[in-house]
Amino acid sequence: MSIFVHIKDIHFSYGRTPVLEGLSYTFKAGEMTAVLGHNGCGKSTLMKNIMGYLLPSSGVIDLASEGKSINSIGNSIRNRKELSRLVSFVPQRAGSFAASTVFDTVRMGRLPYLKNRWNGFTEEDRSKTVEVLRLLNLESFSERLLGCLSGGEQQKVLLARCLVQETPVIILDEATASMDIHHKVDIMETLKRRKEELGLTVIAVMHDLNLAARYSDTLCFLKGGQVLCDGTPSEAMTDKNMEQVYGLEMPVRKDEDGVPFVLPGRQKS
């Protein structure tokens, strides 16, 4: 099942500070969309509203398939357990999971499918966990504590947790920000492959413009709590848009495959 994420005129503020101001956008089903923009433009806040961690003061976020609404997020969430079977999340860092084993951390992705809190995990949950660990070459880490792994390895484990959750929508909030290039490419290749195999909708908050252009179907740039521009990497990554978004001169070039990339920016004189 492929899921569209429709966002209509949402507003959100931290106290008296507005962050999202009438933002509307549709994340297309079966695509990877990179959400980009300078720090504080509302990227992470938007993701937390889609996840239901934060609730907009007005507007609606609608998850839909084939034109039919499945779960709506407004001032309240219609069904949290249902939402957790639709959307999974890869945060920036492991945080509170650091004291858990890799196996237990990944298996937590099966929590939305527990029949009740007393029965616990099933054999199916265990086998799905083993399958994903094998898929991501994490079997040898299975009994190690997550906090004992490198940052890149930890993020790979959190991606495994999302995959075992089997949601049609995956959200990443700067999940590759602190990684070396090897781990960044490894995670993006895995996401791209799973997206194509399963028709996943992937929404990734990113700062690495060149990585976003290489792996995303669509780039969505935010500024001032709204969408400034979007399109394919070639459409959205232009000299003019880079200057508008970041306030820098950032020449855009294309590689031998026609994929755009930006050169280091400089302030306008």
Residue 71 lies in a domain: yes
Residue 67 lies in a domain: yes
Helix or strand (DSSP H, E) at 198: helix 181-198
pLDDT at residue 76 in the model: 53
Residue 39 lies in a domain: yes
Beta bridge partners of 248: 267
Higher pLDDT, 269 or 190: 190
Q: What are phi and psi of 166, to 5 degrees?
A: 55, 45
Look up the CATH number of the domain holding residue 250: 3.40.50.300
Residue 167 lies in a domain: no
Question: Long-range pairs for 66-75 at CB < 8 Å and ≥24 separation?
Answer: 70/3, 73/49
Task: Quick: pLDDT tens for 87-113.
Answer: 999 987 766 667 789 999 999 999 999
Q: Are the CB atoms for 183 and 128 separated by under 8 Å?
A: no
Higher pLDDT, 78 or 211: 211
Residue 247 lies in a domain: yes
Q: How confident is the model at residue 269 (pLDDT cuts 50, 70, 90)?
A: low
Over residues 17-28, mean pLDDT:
95
Q: How confident is the model at residue 24 (pLDDT cuts 50, 70, 90)?
A: very high
47-78 residues labelled b (16+ CB within 10 A) or e (exposed):
bbbbbbebebeebbbbbbeeeeebbbbbeebe
Task: Quick: pLDDT tens for 111-160.
Answer: 999 987 777 899 999 999 999 999 899 999 999 999 898 888 888 899 99
Q: Which domain holds residue 74?
A: 1-80+216-264
Task: Quick: pLDDT tens for 245-255.
Answer: 998 889 999 99
Higher pLDDT, 109 or 264: 109
Residue 29 lies in a domain: yes
Residue 64 lies in a domain: yes
What's the whole-model pTM score?
0.91
Q: How confident is the model at residue 268 (pLDDT cuts 50, 70, 90)?
A: low
pLDDT at residue 92 in the model: 79
pLDDT at residue 255 in the model: 93
Over residues 157-167, mean pLDDT:
94
In the chain, the number of structural domains is 1
pLDDT at residue 19 in the model: 95
Residue 239's CB is within 10 A of a number of other CB atoms, namely: 13
Residue 254 lies in a domain: yes
Helix or strand (DSSP H, E) at 182: helix 181-198
On the question of pLDDT at 190 being above 70, the answer is yes
